[in-house]
């Protein structure tokens, strides 16, 4: 038995993609274990998650994402860009398409520039703020002190905690982030973003990702969440550059939030049993 796959990444946030258009390659009950096995960076292919490109009733195509802990995530901003690139390269879609996720339908606008660099802009939807300005945590609060940090909550498709810090590199991320990620305020858990606002207005960000359970090189929904909170609190304008460990993402904030960034194909392969 052979399973074809493609390895892609968005700013270093990397994925194994399995094309299931028209057929099921990995049985439903095995998808989580498949991700657990092949996301392993020593004994598998190595990735932050496995993307399944699937048929969809209400969009051009669908995306499912299984993470290294075998859980299924609602969506992933970098993952959508990678999946869109794959579909675009195979001419499944044109420059504008829709992708159905567990968090809703996302519109993607994409293409190559004159230098052959692929980029995609994802409509992340409306960032809804209420109460004190931030969507409520489970206790009905809008921000909370956790482990000595002021934590803001926002959900651009996936639960996120946003923490502003003065010095990003001095943050003990692997010590503090899991405690925030598993805090009772986030019943579904949360990705945790530590954000430093630089003098030029750029947001530098480090993200601990739920399901991966470690720091990732980039998080598209994390960049969107951080920019949305910073803008809503009056710390930035409505176009924000977010510098992730793997490179920049551009977030546009109007009625909807739009995330723009690259995606690259790394290699194609086959898993042989």
Which distant-in-sequence residues (6+ apart) come within 8 Å of 125 by Cβ?
A: 104, 106, 156, 157, 256, 257
Between CA 259 and CA 158 the distance in angstroms is: 14
Single out the residue of 162, 167, 150, 161 nearest to residue 188, CA to CA.
161
Hey, which residues does 182 pair with through a beta bridge? none
Helix (H, G, I), strand (E, B) or coil at 125: strand
Which distant-in-sequence residues (6+ apart) come within 8 Å of 199 by Cβ?
A: none
Structure tokens at 242: 């977010």
Backbone φ, ψ for residue 6 (5° rounding): -130, 135
**So which residues are the catalytic ones?**
76, 219
Q: Do residues 215 and 208 touch, judged by C-beta distance below 8 A?
A: yes
Helix (H, G, I), strand (E, B) or coil at 161: strand
Structure tokens at 202: 């750029």
């Amino acid at each position: 038995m052979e399973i074809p796959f493609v390895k892609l990444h968005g700013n270093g946030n990397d994925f194994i993609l399995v094309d299931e258009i028209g057929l099921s390659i990995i049985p439903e009950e095995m998808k989580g274990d498949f991700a657990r096995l092949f996301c392993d960076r020593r004994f598998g292919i190595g990735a932050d998650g496995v993307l399944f490109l699937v048929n969809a009733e209400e969009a051009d195509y669908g995306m499912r994402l299984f993470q290294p802990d075998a859980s299924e995530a609602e969506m992933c901003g970098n993952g959508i860009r990678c999946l869109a690139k794959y579909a675009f390269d195979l001419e499944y879609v044109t420059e504008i398409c829709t992708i159905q996720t567990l968090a809703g339908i996302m519109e993607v606008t994409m293409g190559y520039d004159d230098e052959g660099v692929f980029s995609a802009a994802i409509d992340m939807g409306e960032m809804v703020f209420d109460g004190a300005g931030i969507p409520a945590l489970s206790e009905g609060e809008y921000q909370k002190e956790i482990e000595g940090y002021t934590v803001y909550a926002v959900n651009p498709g996936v639960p996120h905690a946003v923490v502003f810090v003065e010095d990003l590199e001095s943050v003990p991320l692997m010590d503090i982030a899991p405690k925030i990620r598993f805090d009772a305020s986030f019943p579904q858990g949360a990705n945790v973003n530590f954000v430093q606002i630089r003098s030029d207005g750029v947001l530098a960000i480090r993200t601990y990702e739920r399901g991966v359970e470690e720091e990732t090189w980039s998080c598209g929904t994390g960049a969107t969440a951080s920019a949305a909170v910073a803008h809503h609190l009056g710390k930035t304008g409505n176009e924000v550059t977010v510098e992730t460990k793997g490179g920049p993402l551009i977030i546009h904030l109007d009625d909807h939030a739009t995330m723009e960034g690259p995606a690259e194909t790394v290699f194609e392969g086959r898993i042989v049993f």
